[in-house]
Amino acid sequence: MQIGRARQVVTADEIFDLVREDLNCVENAIRVESAASVPAVTTPISKYLEQDGEKRLRAALLLLCSRFAGGGNKRMAIQLGAVVEMLHAATLVHDEMIDGAQTRYAWPSDHIHRANRTCVLAGDWLYIRAFRVALQERVLDVVLGAAQTMVAAGLMQRDRIGRIGITESDCVELAERKTACLFSICGKLGAVAGGVDPRDGGKLGEFAWNLGMAVQLIDDVLEFSRDLEDGKVTLPLVYALEQASVSERDVVAAVLRDRGSDVVPLASVVALVDRYGGIPRTRERARRFADSARQIGAEFPNSVCRRALLTLTELVTERDG
Binding site for a second copy (CB under 8 A): 36, 38, 40-41, 44-45, 94, 97, 99-101, 109-110, 113-114, 116-118, 120-125, 127-129, 131-132, 135, 140-141, 144, 147-148, 151-152, 154-156, 158-161, 260
State phi, psi for 96 to the nearest 5 degrees.
-90, 0
Nearer to a second copy, 20 or 138 (CB): 138
Shortest distance in whole angstroms from residue 72 CB to a second copy: 25
125 burial (CB, 10 Å; 0-12 / 13-18 / 19+) is: buried
CB of 118 to a second copy, least distance (A): 6
CB of 36 vs a second copy, minimal distance in Å: 6
Question: What span, in angstroms and rounded, lies between the C-alpha atoms of 197 and 12?
Answer: 29
8 Å CB contact between 316 and 218: yes
Three-class HEC string of 149-187: HHHHHHHHHHHHCCCCCCCHHHHHHHHHHHHHHHHHHHH
**Min dist. Cβ of residue 150 to a second copy (A):** 9
Provide Rg for the chain, Cα atoms.
Answer: 20
- The residue (of 229 and 318) whose beta carbon lies closer to a second copy is 229
Q: Least CB distance from residue 91 to a second copy, whole Å?
A: 9
Identity of the residue, 124 or 291, whose beta carbon is nearer to a second copy in the bound complex: 124
Contact yes or no for 262/251 (Cβ under 8 A):
no
